[in-house]
Amino acid sequence: MKQIKRYENEKVLVLGLAKSGFSAAKLLHRLGALVTVNDGKPFEENPAAQDLLEDGIRVITGSHPIELLDEDFALMVKNPGIPYNNPLVAKAESLHIPILTEVELAYQVADCPIVSITGTNGKTTTTTMIGLLLNQNREKGKAYLAGNIGFPASEVAQKTTVDDDIVMEMSSFQLMGIEEFRPHIAVVTNIYEAHLDYHGTRDNYVSAKWAIQKNMEISDYLVINWDSKELQELSKQTAATVVPFSTESIVENGAYLKDEFLYYKTEKIMCVNDLGVPGKHNIENALAAIATAKLMKVSNEAIQVALANFHGVPHRTQYVTAINGRSFYNDSKATNSLATEMALSGFDNEKVILLAGGLDRGNGFDELIPAFKGLKAIVLFGETKSKLSETAEKAGIKTILLTENVETAVPLAYDCSSVGDSILLSPANASWDQYSSFEIRGEKFIQAVNKLEEK
């Protein structure tokens, strides 16, 4: 970790705790800043605030008093999830106080190269793949995962050395709070419409994502999905060296799919069928990871071994187990139609029993009709089960079962399956009608599968 002096005796307000705010406050305190933490959760219910107070860090909890900003802060470090229309944030902007997210702090103290990954879908899987590739057969140092994947970047950066790498998943929210952040390699998996409740417009969302490359130079590498015309156009606006990846065309200066093999430039890396995870989206993720690994001088053999043994990130087309010839996959992270379409693209529909349903946000599901065609059966639950049943009928699915929840869906799916079938949880909906998170929903699925195995 670099011992920087820029925050010594500077008054810094950390707004919002959670993991990232807690880590940012600890780092700033270590760097000599005069830190004030403000969090909405009451002190008696706030172990993180209690911990910081014990370290001698000032904490103000239970509310967000606007008069805090009368104290002449030099900087605000904001939890990424707090929107910019929050009164304290808006007031800080009006006072021209710089507003950062903790990934900027991580960059400032990191003593090693940073690989950053963003995009609408596939960020976590691609980040995990890259971490595995960089650690496979590694002789010196370690590649650390950080950022939106669940490990605060400002905490990870403190333990790195010049021999290490940081592989950092980055959300659009985090990227809105960077100033100098400059990764050596940045990856953009794709860009679709998302988070408009936070960003307001699609243009704002795309602009936030594209900020990942704003400080990059020609000696840095921008790995982007060449199947996106939008990203092709955006790539004309970067100073970085562009490295494309594609499943649809041969990109001679990047990674691509050709005749069921994955290539990097002229090198044949591995067969698609040897990947440990199914789906067209995972071919895209693997190509992005391969391009990054080759830029980092990882051997083809190491790439082959790591990607063959990677069986998915939890809740993202994760292989769970096989019972009596039936394979079970947990894709609980599929909280929208597009994610479910992508998951189904990796399977033979005639051998798939799909589990879907969840929170009703008022939308229909006719866009799923092409993806649903040919499914052996579908088991539906949650608030949207009736809507999805209508879509399934339009798609010509003959076996449509309605049930209460994920736990009751699993045995129904098993009962209508045969040897060689795949039972896939890919809900196409958020979980909040029945479960507090997609992770809890996925865990309930796994528990129900395990109960089947015990019988």
What H or E segment, with its residue span, contains residue 91? helix 87-94
Q: Tell me the β-bridge partners of 60.
A: 38
Task: Give me Rg for the CA atoms of the chain.
Answer: 23
- Listed in sequence order, the residues at least 6 apart from 229 whose beta carbon sits closer than 8 Å to its beta carbon are none
Q: HSE of 413 in the Cβ direction (CA atoms, 13 Å)? A: 31
Q: Tell me the β-bridge partners of 61.
A: 39
Inform me whether the pLDDT recorded for 142 exceeds 80: yes
pLDDT tens digits for 179-236? 999 999 999 999 987 778 788 899 999 999 999 999 999 999 999 999 999 999 999 9
The residue extents of the domains of the chain are 11-100, 103-308, 318-454
What H or E segment, with its residue span, contains residue 423? strand 422-425
Please state, in angstroms and rounded to a whole number, the distance separating the CA atoms of residues 233 and 206. Answer: 12
Nearest to 391 by CA among 403, 405, 375: 375
Q: Which residue has the tokens 């809900």?
A: 427
Inform me whether the pLDDT recorded for 136 exceeds 90: yes
| pLDDT mean across residues, the chain | 95
CA angle centred on 425, ends 282 and 437, rounded to 5°: 95
Please state, in angstroms and rounded to a whole number, the distance separating the CA atoms of residues 425 and 73. Answer: 48
Positive or negative, the CA dihedral 154, 155, 160, 166 is: negative
Positive or negative, the CA dihedral 107, 108, 110, 112 is: positive
Q: Give alpha helix (H) positions in 247-397.
A: 280-295, 300-308, 337-344, 369-372, 385-394
Q: Name the pLDDT band for 455 (thresholds 50, 70, 90).
A: low
Q: Name the pLDDT band for 311 (thresholds 50, 70, 90).
A: confident
Q: Give alpha helix (H) positions in 367-437.
A: 369-372, 385-394, 406-415
Q: What CATH class is the domain 103-308?
A: alpha beta
What percent of the chain has a predicted confidence (pLDDT) above 70?
A: 100
- Listed in sequence order, the residues at least 6 apart from 207 whose beta carbon sits closer than 8 Å to its beta carbon are none
Question: What single-letter DSSP state applies at residue 151?
Answer: B
pLDDT tens digits for 8-54? 999 999 999 989 999 999 999 999 999 999 999 999 999 999 999 99
Topology of domain 318-454, per CATH?
Answer: Protein-Tyrosine Phosphatase; Chain A (3.90.190)
- Listed in sequence order, the residues at least 6 apart from 94 whose beta carbon sits closer than 8 Å to its beta carbon are none
Q: What is the pLDDT of residue 26?
A: 97
At 327 the three-state DSSP class reads: strand
- Listed in sequence order, the residues at least 6 apart from 40 whose beta carbon sits closer than 8 Å to its beta carbon are 16, 61, 62, 63, 64
Q: What is the pLDDT of residue 340?
A: 94
Please state, in angstroms and rounded to a whole number, the distance separating the CA atoms of residues 426 and 342. Answer: 10
Integer angstrom CA distances of residue 118 from 230, 252, 297: 15, 23, 22
Nearest to 320 by CA among 406, 203, 192: 406
Q: What is the pLDDT of residue 222?
A: 98
In single-letter form, the type of residue at position 284 comes to E
Nearest to 19 by CA among 92, 85, 80, 68: 80
11-100 maps to which CATH number? 3.40.50.720
Q: What is the pLDDT of residue 228?
A: 96
Q: Name the pLDDT band for 379 (thresholds 50, 70, 90).
A: very high
pLDDT tens digits for 313-360? 878 888 899 999 999 999 999 999 988 998 898 889 999 999 999 999
Q: What is the pLDDT of residue 342?
A: 85
Residue 368 near residue 426 (C-beta atoms within 8 A): no
Rama region for 9: left / alpha / beta (φ>0; ψ in -120 to 50; rest): left
Please state, in angstroms and rounded to a whole number, the distance separating the CA atoms of residues 355 and 129. Answer: 26
Inform me whether the pLDDT recorded for 411 exceeds 80: yes
Q: What is the pLDDT of residue 193?
A: 78
Residue 103 near residue 177 (C-beta atoms within 8 A): yes
The mean pLDDT of 397-415, rounded to a whole number, is 98
In single-letter form, the type of residue at position 285 comes to N
Nearest to 111 by CA among 141, 133, 134: 141
Q: Secondary structure of 14-50 in the HEC alphabet?
A: EECCHHHHHHHHHHHHHCCCEEEEEECCCHHHCHHHH
